[in-house]
Structure 1
Amino acid sequence: MTKLGDTREHYWLMLGMARARGVDLGQAMKDGRLSAPDYAEMVTACRSCTQPGACRKLLDSHASLATGPGYCVNQDKLSALAE
């Protein structure tokens, strides 16, 4: 069984990555493009990431990102929401 990371830490990392990618997750939910279960799934997926430190450093040094890092487990979902 994979040990999941801290929920709060990964929640904030996921929000930071979404912002850096230009994705407003709250608006996506209001628009019906993201359901509450999908949102929760994204947080849980982020908790399985093995590189939260690298993610934190990337977000600390980049206000915006055209694409997410290859290790980001939510990269495809964020790319779809960014369209």
Structure 2
Amino acid sequence: MKDWATQPAPTGDIYRHLWLLKTMANAVGVDLTQAMAEGTLGVAEYSQMVTGCRFGGCDKACVLWQAKNQGQANSPPDLCANKEALERLKP
């Protein structure tokens, strides 16, 4: 039997989570590319956001939320690992 306490937490596919992060940002009116160009979002923070999404374990709920909201919402759902960062980046 595997000892799960000694195993690293599984992460999601990086490309899936890049897409989820970008579409979540777009859904709440945040342009991540523009934020990086303006200097309000650094490379390290962007990387942390992707990693947070990968470890969040809520990708299925995220996809459902995005489908329900059709890309138009005032703020990310509470389940979003990047809610605070996305709120800060809103114009």
Structure-1-length-normalised TM-score: 0.93
Give the letter for the 1:75 counterpart.
Answer: K
Structure of larger gyration radius: 2
Q: How many residues in Structure 1 have an aligned counterpart in Structure 2? A: 83
Once superposed, what is the RMSD of the aligned Cα atoms?
1.0
Measured in 1, the distance between the counterparts of 2:58 and 2:47 equals 19
* Deviation readout 1:2-51 (Å, 9 max, x if unpaired): 21111011110000100001000000011110011111111011001111
The one of 13, 18, 24 aligned to 2:20: 13
User: What is the identity percentage for the equivalent residue pairs of Structure 1 and Structure 2?
Assistant: 36
Provide the C-alpha distance between the structure 1 equivalents of 2:63 and 2:55, rounded to a whole number of angstroms. Answer: 15
Task: Give the TM-score, by structure 2 length.
Answer: 0.86
Identify which of structures 1 and 2 has the higher relative contact order when contacts are C-alpha pairs closer than 8 Å and 6+ apart: 1
Instruction: Work out the CA distance in 1 between the residues paired with 2:10 and 2:18.
Output: 16
What stretches of structure 1 move > 2 A for 4+ residues in a row? none
